[in-house]
Amino acid sequence: MAINLSNTQKAVVDYLGDNLLVIAGAGSGKTRVLTERIKRLILILKKGEKVLAITFSNKAAEELKGRLVETLGEQKLNECTYIGTIHKFCLDIVTSRSSAIGLPDELHICDSYNDRLQIFKEAIESIPQIKAKYIGTDTKENQKKIKKLLDNLSNAKRNLKFAGDYANKPLIQKLFEEYDNMLIQQGVIDFDDILRYSYQILTERESVARLYRKIYKYICIDEAQDLNKAQYEIIKALAGNEIGVTMVGDPNQSIYGFNGSTSDYIERLFLDDFKAEKIELNENYRSSKKIIEAAKKIESSFEVYGVCKYEGEFEIFNFDDEKKEAEFIVEKIKRLIKNGHPDVENNDITLEQCAIIARNRYIFKYIEELLKANKMEYTLKASAKGSFSSESDFVKAFELGIRLLVNSKDKIHLVELSKLVSSKKKYKTFEELKQDKDLSEQWVLLLNILRSAWAILLENDNEIKFHIAIKKLKNYMNNSQLNLDDHELILISEDLKAWEEHWNCYVKNSSAGERSLANFVRTVSLGSTNISEDKGIVLTTVHMSKGLQYDVVFIMGLNEGVFPDYRAVYADDNSKDNKQLIEERHNMFVAITRSKRLCYLTYPLLKNTNWGVKVQKPSRYILELSGIK
């Protein structure tokens, strides 16, 4: 089926120069253009060559694959492209080439902040000078200092720093070295290491970089406004002077500064370093007139043409308190679903077409209570939650066991599992724990069941029978001897269902030859199997709403200090650096432009806090937008 493209969109798709920057404003058909450009590049590939497409999220990767597979078919798509996040691509580099820089094979991801914090504390404990300098008698103050030190180290890693870069600060250098060594001793690396070690491999082993350049002839980067230093430098190291790079992004939607991201990489550095051509997509194919008018008030640089035929709605409401605000939103959604709206296609609105956006997840407290009371289905998207998150003790033990099966060096999760089974013993190995008969009668019985499931996973590494292990666990749940509480059984059932979904997603997105239990665990750690369909109304923070769109959007809790965030306001008032406040404005722009047709802004005049009822000021954005009728 032929795709209708504007002249500007066609110029992007057909561009045959080396490097291209596409500034794609909200609603400009960015995903469609990126899809068509990849299809165009595939036509000029030679046998064995591929297009590397880097997306910002796993969900975006799935959407892009879905669009391409419709015309290319699955076999052609797999032969000619690699589509995924930069962490997924770089993890493949590290796990396959780790020995090139002296790292051990079979490294895994330390995906929990608390696990990293525990290892970091052990590193501090092992260095008396560090302990004397930073650790005092105040436990709470110590915790703050340790977290700040770890955050500083993570920031250094995101800027591609190694311990050797701190020779002029010997204590910090020693701590850096000790933390890295302790991670490796446990057979793990942290998220920042995935990019850092990939960069080291590509820059220190030219033969490896040349190999990748033989395979990947074009790189396409989505959401390029959110690149940080490590990501940008990896792309530079990979591309060299041989690979054509297309970056697509919108500076007005740069909202990940807290991760070191900045739109400078596309607005200045990419143009200079790659001598890239620049094309701007200013057409808007999505948003109603009112949405565009509001977006322009927030970001004056937002320029669009090709006006949408729908007028749309953009309205602001205030309420006595947060409960009244939540009640209004729920009732408004009910009316829209019942009556529809002429500016929405077919005059029909469903729960899935509605989203409620807030600056942080705590704003959703009352709206969640009301949605539950009204039996209205909803999905909460508040954080990029990892996939090792079972609620039941039984399945939690199962997943901890999986980690220990693939990584015998993992002491953190061995200790965690021993605590879970209520043992005070210090086990040296996972096998020792599995065979312990001194545990409670219940845990001896449960571990007996789990041992049989773990054994199935180890039967044949060339054919992982994960679904059979899950089926065995399900069957055991009907065992009356277990005497489990009904609520616990429900949790177990839901947890096992979630693991089935992880496995099915992994199988769908991998070939039989590359599957292994270790690879599955790494894929789960990356969140690559955590792709589920949103059901009902979507409640989402601004950062999690990136790339999504809805006919009806409510932006709630719009008080000064909430949106914009108080930390950004404070930083602006107390320094000359207004970067945080600029990013807050980008956040508001992103929130508004998630709406295709109808957008409602709400805020309470009073808020119940632990310190009593407090008067709330409307957000500065409310004041700026109040003129839109």
Same domain, 405 and 349: no
Residue 387 lies in a domain: no
Residue where the block lists tokens 């665990």: 521
276 with 247: CB under 8 angstroms?
Answer: yes
Whether residues 26 and 53 share a domain: the answer is yes
- The pair of three-digit structure tokens given for residue 147, joined into one six-digit string: 């977290």
In a domain, 483, yes or no: yes
Query: Residue by residue, what is the 3-state secondary structure of 74-112?
Result: HHHHHHHEEEEEHHHHHHHHHHHHHHHHCCCCCCEECCC
- Within-domain flag for 192: no
Mark whether 219 and 348 lie in a shared domain: no
Query: What pLDDT, on a 0 to 100 scale, did the predictor assign at position 169?
Result: 94
Domain count, the chain: 4
Total Cβ atoms within 10 A of residue 621: 26
Helices (H) and strands (E) in the chain, counts: 27, 16
Q: Which long-range contacts (CB under 8 A, 24 or more apart) does 71-80 make?
A: 71/39, 72/39, 72/42, 76/42, 78/511, 79/50, 80/42, 80/45, 80/49, 80/50, 80/51
User: Are 446 and 518 in the same domain?
Assistant: yes
Q: Please, are residues 265 and 273 in contact by the beta-carbon 8 Å criterion?
A: no
Determine phi and psi for 259, rounding to 5 degrees.
Answer: -100, 10
Q: Does one domain contain both 522 and 422?
A: yes
List, in sequence order, every residue forming a beta bridge with 606; answer none if it has no partner: 615
Element (H, E) at 71: helix 58-72
28 annotated as ligand-binding: yes
Closest CA to 591 of 583, 303, 17: 583
Q: Do residues 242 and 213 make contact, with C-beta atoms less than 8 angstroms apart?
A: yes
**Pair (423, 517) in one structural domain:** yes
Q: Are both 17 and 56 inside the same structural domain?
A: yes
Q: From CA 277, how far away is CA 22, in angstroms rounded?
A: 8
Residues 337, 329: Cα–Cα separation, whole Å: 12
Given 135, 153, 186, the domain boundary residue is 186
Whether 29 has a binding-site annotation, put simply, is yes
Same domain, 518 and 561: no
Q: Was 26 annotated as part of a binding site? A: yes
Q: 281 with 17: CB under 8 angstroms?
A: no
E strand residue ranges, 323-424: 354-358, 378-381
For 217, residues 6+ apart whose C-beta sits below 8 A from its C-beta are 41, 45, 46, 49, 50, 51, 243, 244
Dihedral sign of CA atoms 434, 435, 437, 441 in order: positive
- Please report whether residue 350 resides in a domain: yes
Amino acid 310: pLDDT: 86
- CATH number, domain at 566? 3.40.50.300
Rg (CA), the chain: 26
What are 254-292's pLDDT values in tens digits?
A: 888 878 889 999 999 999 999 999 999 988 778 899 999
Q: What is the pLDDT of residue 1?
A: 47
Is residue 591 a known part of a binding site?
Answer: no
Is there a domain that residue 104 lies in? Answer: no
Is 180 a member of any domain? yes
* Distance set, CA 139 to CA 20, 124, 146, 420 (Å): 53, 15, 10, 25
Which structure tokens are listed for 291? 């949405």
Per-residue pLDDT of 439-464, as tens digits, reads: 998 899 899 999 999 999 998 767 88
- Does 441 share its domain with 520? yes
Distance of alpha carbon 565 from alpha carbon 562, whole angstroms: 5
Q: Are 477 and 489 in contact (CB under 8 A)?
A: yes
Query: How many C-beta atoms surround the C-beta of residue 235 within 10 A?
Result: 24
Q: Does any domain span residue 259?
A: yes
110 phi and psi angles, rounded to 5 deg: -85, 90
Contact 123, 173 (CB under 8 A): no
What pLDDT shows up at residue 473? 92
3-class secondary-structure state, position 530: coil
At residue 381, what are phi and psi to the nearest 5 degrees?
-120, 85
Residue 25 in marked binding region: yes
Domain that holds residue 168: 109-186
Q: What is the 3-state secondary structure (H, E, C) of 190-229?
A: CHHHHHHHHHHHHHHCHHHHHHHHHHEEEEEECCHHHCCH
Answer yes or no: are the C-beta atoms of 491 and 391 closer than 8 Å. yes
Query: With a cut of 70, which residues of the chain have pLDDT below it?
Result: 1-3, 305-308, 382-387, 461, 478-482, 485-486, 531-532, 572-577, 628-629
Contact 377, 397 (CB under 8 A): no
Residue in the structure block whose two tokens are 């001896």: 444
Regarding whether 11 and 90 lie in a shared domain, the answer is yes
Domain co-membership, 515 together with 540: no
Does residue 547 have a known ligand-binding role? no
Tell whether residue 24 is among the known ligand binding residues.
Answer: yes
Eight-state DSSP code of residue 15:
-
Q: Coil, helix or strand for 149?
A: helix
Q: Which of 231, 251, 283 is the last residue of a domain?
A: 283
Residue 552 within any structural domain of the chain: yes
Give exposure, 141-156, as e/b (b: 16+ Cβ within 10 Å). ebeebbeebbeebbeb
Torsion of CA 267, 270, 273, 276, to 10 degrees: -100
Asked if 418 and 558 sit in the same domain, the reply is: no
Write down the pLDDT at residue 279. Answer: 95
Burial class, 174, CB count within 10 angstroms (exposed 0-12 / middle 13-18 / buried 19+): middle
Find residue 356's DSSP bridge partners. Answer: 539, 554
8 Å CB contact between 518 and 563: no
Residue that finishes a domain, picked among 258, 283, 308 = 283
